[in-house]
Structure 1
């Protein structure tokens, strides 16, 4: 008898929360507090669908790297921080798997809330001010997203739907740090401790887009909303985010600030994939397949690359080979991970009659070359041993994992019947 996967997710959550608590009772036990969160994430690999396993495995790997990353900093919430990472991964898997609207929105909250505590790690004189700014913005983002989701899920008229979708898009942009709701990103990324910022810049970006795609595609098909209005609104957000992020990175000098603006640009690329997914919602064919594949790959590239870069910033530089390879992957150099993500997004945009947005994406990729080269030169300082070096090498291997076309990611997504995971049940 197959155990329903939702029970596995629940068991993983219970093990993570209850199992971690005893380890927090003494300082000696805290050093082993990473064990239970690790086990709770590995349990997620018991997926009922072998095709879903590929994506869950990628998320689990990112979560494990997040645990190891947190080991590099002295934390006042040691043990709790590991538990929070596991909760974020569980919630992200839930966002991808569930067809229940309430659970989908819950997954968004479970990804966002842990970052409120993580951002407070580091120098108290700095982290409190930055933390308050970050938390306030995230609360506003959640409210906007939820209000927008409720409006478009209630069977509104076209005008009301567009208003609700715009609110959802504003909340999504504020949540992930995309323009024009990006104001918090440069300050938080620059002044915050690079280790928790690495988590916020990577793991926390994935679930919001998955949730937004699922809610939008479901309500569009249910209420017969034309995709053109929505795709062009999302395309406008993507254009603003790409140009503002890349130009901001070009004119910035501090490495964390450059990475902040590059994150804004990367969220613009993902928003472009969102626009393409909207255009492909009616046919449920190649456009939607390419769009969602590109969206997930770009989010994975952003997660791997940002964690790699911020670990390097924390170390005040790291080995030049890895730093250059991660930079080239972000630029979109074949056959690295960033090339395939952008290729699938461009294909989706062309198939979805959004060629103008595909051209803008290519232009922005070219604009990004100078500042990624500058990052590689500044942060590639030679070989360093220890945990940091090991982490950077693993991140580099992940960017190299697509030296051959990533059929191991593409084929499973098509075979697992994409529509089954993207359409919610609103009954």
Structure 2
């Protein structure tokens, strides 16, 4: 039986695509082409379960920030770009909600494909070079992810499951830009237009982790969890060190943010390792903590990167906001980034991965100098305008957890029922 909420997701997609089409017929109507995507993502808030609402609300908020961000660019695909953001938000919601493997993998395609066009926005020659490099890497990532998912979804023996799991993790790492599959990230983030890059660095990171987590937890069965957790933990460790050390030595702000993204994907990969251990141990507490940390870190990365890249695009922004974003990325309490890292660390400790928790803490300390440097470089003073409003909105989101975020944490810990698929 098809769930009623699937019909809402389908309706959202129809409104987004069909509603946008007439807006593209004239230059005058293109001014209002943001309306159908906006409506399409807002109706996703009609969630069937109260536990889904905080996740969807955060996702919709990131989508709104993405749409407003694209308004700053003189895009050759005006209208289509807003529609692509709508598709990506729908894909994130579908990734968490669906219990169907085919739809879960479809959500991965829906989150990746729009970025192929968005990365082309900007100076034609540079955008083409960056776009080709990005698209080739994403195609390889999708193939690796799909092959790995299909192998572990079959009745695999331990050796073939480890092979499939390794391919899936490599595909995931390439998709989100985690080391050692990060080679495309510094070049694309530095050469690309900061506005579409902010979308790739934020919205595009969420669904791949959700889909990977669901596929792994559904299929691991009696596979010894330490095999899987150590593979994911090794990737997390490499990504954290490569990202943070690379950011320390990088000179350009955009390149620092590129390596910062690599490090952040390492933190999220740590949460995935903890989730594997929690599920295998039958500990809903460990699994719940890992899920909270994973989602909060993805949201922190998303809003923080949108704020920073908007500041790069406008060559600076107000100092208060840029400092608060930097402090949140470092993990200063009680900002959003503190809670995400806290819950990942707790999940790692409860999941008998204390060594990985220590590595995470060490890397958070390593990150302090370059986030301070970013705050000084981009905090050039109040300017006013759309960019200022965007960064202020990001700052408010980061400050939302000044009130202890039980309003978000408790519902997310009850999303465990959505983490498996029916094969």
Q: Does 1:106 align with 2:84?
A: no
Query: Using the alignment, how far apart are the partners of 2:416 and 2:306 within structure 1?
Result: 31
* 1:118-267 superposed matches below 5 A: 118-221=118-221, 224-267=222-265
Runs of 4 or more, structure 1, over 4 Å off, are none
Name the TM-score, length of structure 2 as normaliser: 0.99
Counterpart in 1 of 2:420?
423
Q: Gaps spanning 5+ residues in structure 1: where? A: none
Deviation of the 1:413 alpha carbon: 1.9
User: Within 1, Cα distance between the matches of 2:268 and 2:3?
Assistant: 34
Matching of residues 286-365 of structure 1 within 5 Å: 286-365=285-364
Hey, what's the Cα distance between the residues in 2 that align with 1:342 and 1:419?
19
Aligned with 1:280: secondary structure?
Answer: helix
Aligned to 1:79: 79
Determine the C-alpha separation between the residues in 2 that align with 1:419 and 1:268: 22
Q: CA deviation at 1:125?
A: 1.1
**Shift of residue 375, structure 1, vs aligned partner:** 0.3
SS in structure 2 at match of 1:353: coil
Is this contact kept in 2: 1:231–1:276, CA < 8 A? Answer: yes
User: Over aligned residues, Cα RMSD in angstroms?
Assistant: 0.9
Q: TM-score, normalised by structure 1?
A: 0.98
Instruction: Summarize deviations over 1:48-94 as a string: whole Å, max 9, x none.
Output: 11121111011001101100000000000000000000000000000
* Correspondence for 1:371: 370
Give the superposition deviation at 1:419.
Answer: 3.1
Q: CA deviation at 1:34?
A: 0.1
Report the alpha carbon displacement of residue 162 of structure 1 after superposing the two structures with TM: 0.2
Question: What CA distance in whole angstroms lies between the structure 1 residues aligned with 2:19 and 2:376?
Answer: 44
Alpha-carbon offset, residue 269 of structure 1: 0.2
**By how many angstroms is 1:405 displaced?**
1.7
Q: How far did 1:420 drift?
A: 1.6
Alpha-carbon distance, 1:3 to partner = 7.4
Unaligned runs of 5+ in 2: none
Q: Once structures 1 and 2 are overlaid, which stretch shifts more, 283-292 or 99-108?
A: 283-292
Do structure 1's residue 116 and structure 2's residue 116 form an aligned pair?
yes
Aligned residues: 421
Q: Which residue of 2 aligns with 1:405?
A: 404
- For residue 51 of structure 1, what is the aligned residue in structure 2? 51
Give the CA deviation at 1:284. Answer: 4.0
1:97 offset after TM fit, Å? 0.5
Native 8 Å contact 1:239 1:357 kept in 2:
yes
Does the CA contact (< 8 Å) of 2:288 and 2:416 recur in 1? no
1:198 and 1:309 map into 2 onto residues whose CA distance is 8
Q: d(CA) in 1 for partners of 2:408 and 2:398?
A: 14
CA distance in structure 2 between the aligned counterparts of 1:420 and 1:297, rounded to whole angstroms: 18
**What is the alpha-carbon distance in structure 1 between the residues aligned to residue 20 and residue 304 of structure 2?**
29
Shift of 1:404: 2.1
Partner deviation per Cα, 1:123-158 (whole Å, 9 max, x = no partner):
001000000000000000000000000000001000
Shift of 1:352: 0.3
Task: Give 1:233 shift.
Answer: 0.3
1:93 paired residue number: 93
Checking the alignment, whether the CA contact within 8 Å between 1:284 and 1:419 is kept in structure 2 is no
**Contact 1:331-1:365 within 8 A present in 2 as well:** yes
Q: 255, 259, 271: which one pairs with 1:273?
A: 271
Q: Does 1:60 align with 2:57?
A: no
3-state SS of the aligned residue for 2:401? coil
